[in-house]
Amino acid sequence: MRAQLRSLKIPQLVSTAAAFRRSAELMTPTAATKLALKSIAMRYQHLSAEIDALDKHLDQLVAAAAPALVAIKGVGTDIASTLLTVAGDNPERLVSE
């Protein structure tokens, strides 16, 4: 199993592990390992989907709060949200570009 999974990149590894079938009995180390990997892969997929959804919400919030800031080349949601957090209710704290 290690040889089969070792060459896979993260997306393929996660999808492969998530597709493992549960054995009727967990009598072997391989069956237990597959169950554990399947559980971790499914959690990874769920959390990745949650992160993507939250990122979309953050994009909308930042764009509404500071449209001029995100319009600047090289300033994306992450940078803009950090600047907004640092400035808070005191935008005069940011005195330069």
Q: Domain residues of the chain, as ranges?
A: 1-52, 66-97
Predicted pLDDT at 1 = 87
Over residues 39-66, the mean pLDDT reads: 96
Q: Is 17 exposed, middle or buried (CB count within 10 Å of its CB: 0-12, 13-18, 19+)? A: buried
pLDDT exceeds cutoff 80 at 28? yes
Enter the pTM of the model. 0.75
| CB 57, CB 38: distance < 8 Å | no
**Rounded percentage of the chain residues whose pLDDT exceeds 70:** 94
